[in-house]
Amino acid sequence: MGNRERLGKANPRGKRQKKEELVMRKRRLYMISILVTAAMMMSMMSGCAEGDSASNGKDTVVSAAETDESSEADSDSTTGSDDTTSSEKTSGDETASSDDASGAASDDEFTDRDIDPSYDESEVIEITLDGSSASVSGNGAEVDGSIITISAEGVYVISGTLEDGQIIVNAADTEKVQIVLNGVDISCSDSACIYVKSADKTFITLADGTENTLSDTGEAYAADGDENVDGVIYSKDDVTFNGSGSLTINASYNHGIVGNDDVKFTGGSYYITATAKGIKANDSLRIKDGSFVISSGDDALHTSNNEEEGKGYIYIADGEFELSSGDDGIHAEKELVINDGVIVVTQSNEGIEGATIEVNGGDISVNAGDDGMNATGTSTTGSMDSVEWDFGEMKFGGGGMMDAVEDALLTINGGTIYVNASGDGLDSNGYLYINGGNVTVDGPVNDGNGALDTGYEGYVNGGTVTITGSSGMAESFSSGSEQYSILYNFTTALSEGTEVSLTDESGNVVMSYTLNKTASSVLISSADITDGTYTIKAGDIEDTITVSGISTSAGAAGGMGGFGGMGNHGGMGNQGEMGGPGSFGGNDSGFGGGFGGGPH
């Protein structure tokens, strides 16, 4: 699979002012609705104990995070190998240094030497492992029992078996070391099998056609001063994995691979079983290519730097991934960018999580016990607090508006995405944009979660979208979108195996989907939907939907509706009670389907 062009339509600059105005208008309308609802409820409760009402809100202006990009590149030249920045790019003039990408990822994330595993055979230093000892041909490495220490820049080709031993890299911080695993089996009972204490950068190359295995066999790692060594491969400095062989890692104590700085992969096959995290990087995790089968008790892929700007991100250009995780399948503390690849998260708590998530291509399948894809952002604004009454605490409008995060952003520009989630399906604590691709979500069956959940607003501007789930928290796309969408809530829950279809006035099938689990709500968006009359069918249920605007909500009461300005159907709605059909406005109006998300 080749790299795809980075589309970058997450939050067009031309819409920024409009978005800010929408947010402020939304807040004003929201507060008005609370006051009106309060007045209605107080009136209905005449004769009851008189109570005091209070509302508390905070105004925030939301804007897209601006990212700074740099054209600076690593200079990893040594042993006759030229390491200039790769000329391949995923878009235009976008470049990013090895130390500051700020999520604006391109193939300039990788140097030539990252990508090219070749070396000068005449300069090779051979290390032969033999049970509990080893031998070295050449200078730059020393053997002390079963401990081999590499202390100088060079290319070291390692082969053989080492029992309860360790490879240590302890070179100057200006030197680059290339370790070529040429068929090794290394175990260590009390520390990392490969421990990079010091180097400018270390390359771990998997020789073509070889199988390599690293295992920790103890119950704990011995302390190394103040350093918390906690991975089968542990690097204090930058490390790159390349080549075309395979590497199996058995981490019975803690993590599989740990890097305190940047961790890169440009080739090879990796089979990692870890008690804790599969691959853990601090500053960045960058994957150009490779095959990864990871079973981990904690996150399968993880970055952790949340303090330094431009760090803590994950960039996936391509590759094949089969991830089974006890927590997150992929967790980026900051930005997560996926340009291409085949990613299958077979088991997870939350499937794919990052402060911001951008998907530009690939084939992605997620199974999650909680949220499928979750953009968390980095700072909670607390935009809408609860409303307190003398008879208890009430929250109007559901959890989305209660915990909004201004810099949270989930953007899908392309690819084929399937999410099966018990919690929220597509979840952004701030904004969500679908600009292209084929997106399918089998969302929650309980009404406490939503198949689509946004803190502020969700926009659909392109692509084909089918989102099913429960109706209690069902949410439509904003009427500020560029592509039409329909949210329909059924009167009863539909069973697994039920076919749901939408046809236009001419009988053309716009959407047809067979449910993989119980659902009572469906959200559809397609370039084929426009103003007109449509028929929705599900088993014995058949209903007519009139579409007269970008965002349409229809069917039974329930759900969140969408926010779309005052519109033509403002006012109190058909039933005039909170949560009832059409309350606080209907289609493309008021709160875009009302607090109840009912028919217009």
Q: Poorest-confidence range of 90-99, 286-295, 382-391?
A: 90-99
How much is the pLDDT for 170?
98
Residue 277 has pLDDT above 50, yes or no: yes
**pLDDT value at 572 more than 70:** no
pLDDT at 57 over 50: no
How would you classify residue 385: left for phi > 0, otherwise alpha for psi between -120 and 50, otherwise beta? Answer: beta
- Secondary structure in 3-state letters for 271-336: EEEECCCCEEECCEEEECCCEEEEEECCCCEEECCCCCCCCCEEEECCCEEEEEECCEEEEEEEEE
Mean pLDDT value across residues 14-42: 46
State residue 222's pLDDT score: 87
Please report the sign of the dihedral spanned by the C-alpha atoms of residue 215, residue 221, residue 222, residue 226. Answer: positive
CB proximity list for 507: less than 8 A, separation 6 or greater: none
- Answer yes or no: is pLDDT of 63 > 90: no
> What is the tens place of the pLDDT at every residue in 446-495?
999 999 999 999 999 999 999 999 999 999 999 999 999 999 999 999 99
- Mean pLDDT over each residue of the chain, to the nearest integer: 80
pLDDT value of residue 223 = 83
Q: What is the mean pLDDT of residues 220-231?
A: 91
The first and second tokens of residue 234, run together, are 């542990």
Pairwise CA distance, residues 188 & 344, whole Å:
31
72 pLDDT above the threshold of 70: no
Query: What pLDDT does residue 53 have?
Result: 32
Instruction: Quote the CA–CA distance of 191 and 189 in Å, as a whole number.
Output: 6
Q: Which residues contact 435 (CB under 8 A, 6 or more apart)?
A: 7, 9, 10, 411, 412, 413, 414, 461, 462, 463
Range name among 36-50, 217-231, 242-256, 482-496 with the lowest pLDDT average = 36-50
Q: What is the mean pLDDT of residues 499-506?
A: 97
Model confidence band, residue 558 (pLDDT cutoffs 50, 70, 90): low
What was the pLDDT predicted at 587? Answer: 35
Least confident of 61-75, 256-270, 272-286: 61-75
Mean pLDDT, rounded, for 142-154: 98
Kindly report the pTM of this predicted structure: 0.78
Kind plus residue range of the DSSP H or E element containing 35:
helix 16-44
Place of tokens 């500020």: 480
Mean pLDDT of 143-169: 98
Q: What is the pLDDT of residue 107?
A: 77
Least confident of 331-335, 549-553, 593-597: 593-597
Q: Are 302 and 336 within 8 A, CB to CB?
A: no
Torsion of CA 228, 234, 235, 238, to 10 degrees: -130
Average pLDDT over residues 140-155: 98
pLDDT at 333 over 70: yes
- Predicted confidence band at 218 (pLDDT cuts at 50, 70, 90)? confident
Instruction: Give the residue among 583, 487, 466 at the shortest CA–CA distance from 543.
Output: 487
Q: Average pLDDT in the 563-584 region?
A: 33
Given a contact cutoff of 8 angstroms between Cβ atoms, the answer to whether 423 and 346 are in contact is no
What residues does 68 pair with on adjacent strands? none
Range of lowest pLDDT (84-88, 159-163, 288-292, 376-380): 84-88
DSSP state of 227: B
Provide the pairing of β-strand 246-251 with 211-216. parallel
Half-sphere exposure of 363 (CA within 13 A, CB side): 7
Is 18's pLDDT higher than 80? no
Return the percentage of the chain with pLDDT > 70, whole number: 71
> What pLDDT is attached to residue 135?
97
